[in-house]
Structures are given as C-alpha cells and as structure tokens.
Amino acid sequence: MPLIASVLLPLPLPEAFDYAADEAMDLHVGDQVAVPLGPRLMRGVVTALRDATGHNRPLKAVESKLDDTPLTEGALAFLDWAARYAVSPPGDVLSMVLRGLRHPLPRPITGLVRSGRPPTKPTPARLKVLEAADDTPQRASALAAAAGVSAAVVKSLVEDGALLAVSLPAPDDFGDPDPNLPGPTLNPSQAAAAEVLVEMVQAGGFQAALLDGITGSGKTEVYLEAAAAALKADPHAQILLLLPEIALTQAVIARVTARFGAPPAEWHSAVPGPRRRRVWEAVATGTCRIVVGARSALFLPYRKLKLVVVDEEHDGSFKQEDGFVYHARDLAVARAKIEGAAVILASATPSLESLWNAEAGRYRWLRLSARHGTATLPDIDLVDLREHPPESGRWLSPVLKAAMAETYAKGEQTLLFLNRRGYAPLVLCRACGERMTSPDSQSWLVEHRYSGRLVCHLTGFSMKKPDACPHCGAKDSLVSIGPGVERLEEEARELFPEARIAVFSSDTAPDAESARTLVQAMEAGEIDILVATQAAAKGHNFPNLTLVGIVDADLGLRGGDLRAGERTYQLLAQATGRAGRADRPGRALIQTYAPDQAVMQALAAQDRDAFLNAESEARKEAGLPPFGRLAAIILSAEDGIRLETYARALAAAVPNAEGLEVYGPADAPLALIRGRRRKRFLVRADRMVDLQAFLSTWLARAKPPSWVRLQVDVDPYSFL
C-alpha cells in the first residue's frame, strides 16, 4: 500500500510537508528521515502517516529512514504545544529538539589487552610491555608509560597480534543512579514537604507543586527526596532538573552525584558538542536518567520523563528572548502535563504567577520558613543615602564601610552587590557634554577598564576608549559617570589595600569553569571581599560570608517595567540571603535613596507576603499578569518609513475581540538596534481570552513583507 508521510523539517515553515513513502521502509510516527528539499537532503521527523490510495498529486519520496532514535509521542505533542503557545512555526521548535544531533559523536576510545599470542620477536622492551599489560584494557599511551618504552614498541605489538585493540566504554558513561543511598536526615518541616512530594511522585501522572522556602531552608535536599522516589518507583524514570544559570550547575551536579552515587548528565551551551550528541542519544534511549541543565534541556527527547524540577523558578533567565521566544518555567509545566510527570517549582521568592497558581490550588504549596539547623536569617538594615552619603565620586556610605572594616577584622567575608558590569555605565565629555553612545543602538556605552574599551551591552559593539572627545575634539576630557563593579573594586582596594578582593560578573566568569574557580575560592575563604553582579547572587552557599552590602538598591526600580518591583525584591532578597549560613549570623545593608518604597520596607522587615500582596493587588486592578495576559509584537526593519507603513497596515488589521486591547504601534524604547528601526505593539487580554488564537488570526490578516522581521513575544519580560 502506498503511503504519504507528513514530515516536519527544522525550518520556520507553517506546517509539515508531504512525501511519498514506501511501505517496505516500515515508517512510524516519530521516525527521523532524510527527505529531499530543493537540491539538498534534510533531516526531518515523521508526524503523520496516511494511505495514499486515490492521491494523484505527484510527491517526492522519503529518501531513507535514519538510524537515530525516533521521537516519542510525548516529544511530538510537546513540540506542537510549544509552537502554538509561542505563535511560532513548529519547525522552529523541532530545530531546537534536533540541535543536539548537529554534532559528531565522540570518537570511541580503544584500549589494549594481551591476546595470548606470544610476540614473534620477544625483545626486552616488548616483554616489558606485555608484563605491564593485563586483562583490563589500557590505553596505548598508558601502557607505554607503565612499561617505560616508546609508543612505537606498543604499536608494533598490536601489528604483531600480541596485543589486541578493544573499545573502551567512554569514561563518562551514564551511571545508574542509586535511589537507595541514604540522604540526610531531614528536619521536621523538610520531612513534611518531602512526604507530600514523594506521594505526588508515587501517585504518577501530572501534578505540580510550589516548593516555597527561604534561602538555606534545604529546598535542594527536599526535591532530591522526590527525585529518589521517582527513581525508585520506575526503573526507567527520567528526571530533569532545570537551573537558570550555568554557574549554578556544578554545585547541583555535585549534590546529585553525592545523593545518588552517579553523576547526572549536564546540558547547556558550554557542554562540548560531541558530548551533547551522546547525552541526546542517551536521553532518547533512556540510558541517561537524570539531566541537570539550562532551559534548552526542556527540548531533549526524554523517553520516560517522570519528574521535572525548576529551581529558582522566579528567575528571569528562564525567559528566552532570541529566536524561538519562550519561558522555560511555563514550558516545563506544559511538558510535565503532556508526559504525565510531576513538576516541582522551587524558589525562595516565587513569581507572582506561581504564587497565584498555588493560591488557586492548582499547585500544591509547600513552605519552608526556617533555615536548616542553627543558621539564622541575616539582619537587614536600610542605609538612607540622603542621611549617610558616600564621598563624592565614591559609592560606599560610611555605614557600609564601617561594617566592612568590622567584618574584615574578624576574618569574615563581605559581598558587595551591584548589578552592573564594567567600570562606569556612562562616559561623557566634560568640555561639551557629549555622551558616548553606541552607533548601532544609540544606547550609552559602558566603560570597561580591564579591557580599556567602551562596550554596548546590548549589541556587543565595542571601541577603544578615545583620548579626545569625538564630538568637540577636547583632549582628556572624557569622564566616567556612575559605578560598575570594576569601579567598586577600585574603591574597596583603596579602603582595604591588604584585603583579597575579586570581581564576579559575566566578564570575569564568562564560562562554567571560571565561575567554578571563583565560587571555590570564595568557599575556601581565599577571598575577603567579593564584588559581584547577579552572577554570584544566586544559590551559592558561602559559609564564611557574613556581610552583604547592596550598593545601589534603587537600580532595578528605574526603567519601571511591569515586574520592576517584583524583580528588585527577588534579586535583593536572594543577594541578602547569601549572608550568614551555617552557624554564623549574617547582616545585610541596603543602600537606597528611597527607603520608604514598599520594596525596601518589605526587604528590611523581611515581610515578603505583605509586599507581594500589595504587588498582586496592583496587578489585579490593571488586569496584568498573572491576572491578565500580555503579548508583544516587535517589528524591525532597516528602512524606518517602510516599517511605519507596515506597522500601520498591521494596526488596521486588528480583529474585533472582547476582553482584549491592542496598544501601538509605538517606537520601541530601544528604537534602533544594529541599524534596524524597531516598533512594538502590546496586547493585553483577560485570562479567558484565547490570546494565541487572536494573534494567529491577526497576523494572518497582514502578513509581514520580507523586509520586516516580526517577533511574537507571549508573556513578555522585557519591554525594550
């Protein structure tokens, strides 16, 4: 019987293409196939098969079925759901799913064993090698070193047949986690939360829980109990642990390894390609049971996903804003639902969205309100900068300086938190007032002193800092305005010339390895003062850290988007939560010009609920998330006039709809990036409205011409 196979390709196309298929190929839905597209062959996935009898349009044929593991029904359903949710082509999601297959497999490692055949010429060197070799295969280089001979001698024995080459298992093979290893003894509130989660996992099927526990309360220990239960309940169960930052993965991997006696697979952009290819295959075949990864780990082809944990679920880094736009927390819940898995969202400062779901009873709500053991929460004080101003051109108030001196004298550590990379956020000319801006985005250039360059943090544009003002030509007239972490380090060095000071930002710790080195140095007490951006504010345990100074608490409140207050609260609560773990009491000082702001009061009083209730009320009144829904449409084009013309056409095509408003087009706050003009629409809808259906209908009525780039951002987090 002739068949037609619908094959989805990893391309931004609206739907799967039909190909003729031969029954002998024995195709199934989910199979990976090679199909012709224009002049080339492409990898695709079969999404449907139907009888071709009576079909008389000529179709190109599927070229071949590929060996790679087929995608499961769950993976395909998730792919569809994600595409619909994001109002994006399903091929864009498929391209993320197949990304792990782009790399070659790592080369197999061969080892040598004695074959039992004596060598034809038993020279002393050759005999030494045979003595060093035994029945466990060893690499040729190890064997040569052990026998103290050259590689050529070993090679000659292989050619001679006295040594036999065999494939060694990859050293980093996926070990089987042992859920029966003993975990720590949980304290009563941890045990109560763990019990609920274990029951949830044992019951099977989709259920969600919010693990809402203050920093240091032991959330990790608790969710690892749920992981143990999932592994015990099903010998094939797989677990996904999502983290917002690569910098956090090492610590979690170490804890998972210690708990289950086998390392989990790591998945993020810094993992080498061949290794990713192996992880992809092992996840697809089910031999890899636990994955610890960044948001893209959501798109791996799990065979039997039973538990998803989203740690630091409130974190904005879960939102992917380039290419396929999605929020990993929301997709994690969707994937769990589709796969019939449990999902645990963990945070010390949960998002309003998750709290709302917990309050409504859709998520089990588990609270841990005390730190484990004798560790106490830090004392938090506001420093009113109007009363205690720093010296001119300096950023640390006398109060904070005194606390730092005290801490240093006791041999304890300080963390100075400033969420701003580089040396100074603005460079201007003293002579003519010109501000140095980026030519491709018109945003301010940030001075980086380590590299001597001015950098646009938005587009990556950078230039050497000029000696003279490019506008008026005045020499040595450029001055740095405001502080970044590098400048703060300079100030700390002046104050404490003997102290060991380090900077932790994405510039000093650009990859997992350098982040780990810094974290380890801090843990080992090799740093007295750590000046850090948010890269170091999350998740780490520094036992000797007893003072956290928030240098500019008002920073996040400027710019004022929807979540500015919430985000500031979350970030500062995380940062202050670093102080005082184990049994040393900690303190946090928050420098602010607005101590009366609700956020600052809530932080000082450590009264999260009062703050969130007030935030919630305000959002409810305005119908904003989580009480309403938002979507942004971002248009960009090189030609501003043509862009305006299309934006107007799109505005005219807005369909009539109840419970929904469309705002715009307006110039985006970042009206120019890399030479492209940008415009935005914002859609607000009541929760009951099918926002995605509305967007699809609308966009179909005014399709963008090829010279306009159109991006849909459902539930936007950035309003730039």
- Under DSSP, is residue 8 helix (H, G, I), strand (E, B) or coil? strand
Distance of alpha carbon 453 from alpha carbon 436, whole angstroms: 12
Q: At closest approach, how far in Å is the CB of 461 from ligand ADP?
A: 38
Q: At closest approach, how far in Å is the CB of 587 from ligand ADP?
A: 18
Tokens representing 314 are 């409130």
Contact 414, 404 (CB under 8 A): yes
Contact 536, 567 (CB under 8 A): no
217 in contact with ligand ADP (CB under 6 A):
yes
Q: At closest approach, how far in Å is the CB of 306 from ligand ADP?
A: 22
Stretch that binds ligand ADP, among 46-54, 179-187, 408-416, 443-451 (CB under 6 A): 179-187
250 in contact with ligand ADP (CB under 6 A):
no
Among 44, 74, 213, 665, binds ligand ADP (CB under 6 A): 213
Cα–Cα distance list, 258 to 311, 334, 576 (Å): 18, 30, 28
Tokens 């408003």 locate to: 661
Question: Could you count the other beta carbons within 10 Å of the beta carbon of residue 28?
Answer: 11
187 in contact with ligand ADP (CB under 6 A):
yes
Q: Which residues pair with 628 in a beta bridge?
A: 686
Q: At closest approach, how far in Å is the CB of 537 from ligand ADP?
A: 13
Q: At closest approach, how far in Å is the CB of 186 from ligand ADP?
A: 5
Distance of alpha carbon 157 from alpha carbon 163, whole angstroms: 6
Q: At closest approach, how far in Å is the CB of 582 from ligand ADP?
A: 8
Burial of 379 (0-12, 13-18, 19+ CB in 10 A): middle
Interacting residues with ligand ADP between 358 and 417 (CB under 6 A)? 372
Q: At closest approach, how far in Å is the CB of 261 from ligand ADP?
A: 17
Residue 635: phi, psi to the nearest 5?
-110, 140
Which lies closer to ligand ADP via its Cβ, residue 221 or residue 447? 221
First vs last Cα of the chain: how many Å apart?
55
Tokens representing 529 are 């003062």
Q: At closest approach, how far in Å is the CB of 234 from ligand ADP?
A: 25
Stretch that binds ligand ADP, among 181-189, 315-323, 381-389, 390-398 (CB under 6 A): 181-189
| SS (HEC) of 238-304 | EEEEECCCHHHHHHHHHHHHHHHCCCCEEECCCCCHHHHHHHHHHHHHCCCCEEEECHHHHHCCCCC
215 in contact with ligand ADP (CB under 6 A):
yes
574 in contact with ligand ADP (CB under 6 A):
no
Which lies closer to ligand ADP via its Cβ, residue 227 or residue 478? 227
30 φψ region: left (φ > 0), alpha (ψ -120 to 50), beta (else): left
Among 161, 184, 235, 560, binds ligand ADP (CB under 6 A): 184
Q: What's the chain's Rg over C-alpha atoms?
A: 29
Contact 669, 718 (CB under 8 A): no
Buried b (16+ CB within 10 A) or exposed e, 497-530: eeeebbbbbebbbeebeebbebbeebbeeebbbb
69 in contact with ligand ADP (CB under 6 A):
no
Q: At closest approach, how far in Å is the CB of 211 from ligand ADP?
A: 8
Which lies closer to ligand ADP via its Cβ, residue 539 or residue 625? 539
Among 219, 364, 540, 676, binds ligand ADP (CB under 6 A): 219
Among 31, 212, 221, 412, binds ligand ADP (CB under 6 A): 221
Among 32, 88, 95, 220, binds ligand ADP (CB under 6 A): 220
Among 44, 179, 216, 549, binds ligand ADP (CB under 6 A): 216
Q: At closest approach, how far in Å is the CB of 541 from ligand ADP?
A: 5
Interacting residues with ligand ADP between 527 and 566 (CB under 6 A)? 541
111 in contact with ligand ADP (CB under 6 A):
no
Among 89, 218, 565, 586, binds ligand ADP (CB under 6 A): 218
Give me the residue whose beta carbon is nearest to ligand ADP: 218
Total of residues contacting ligand ADP (CB under 6 A): 15
Q: Which residues bind ligand ADP (CB under 6 A)?
A: 184-187, 190, 213, 215-221, 372, 541
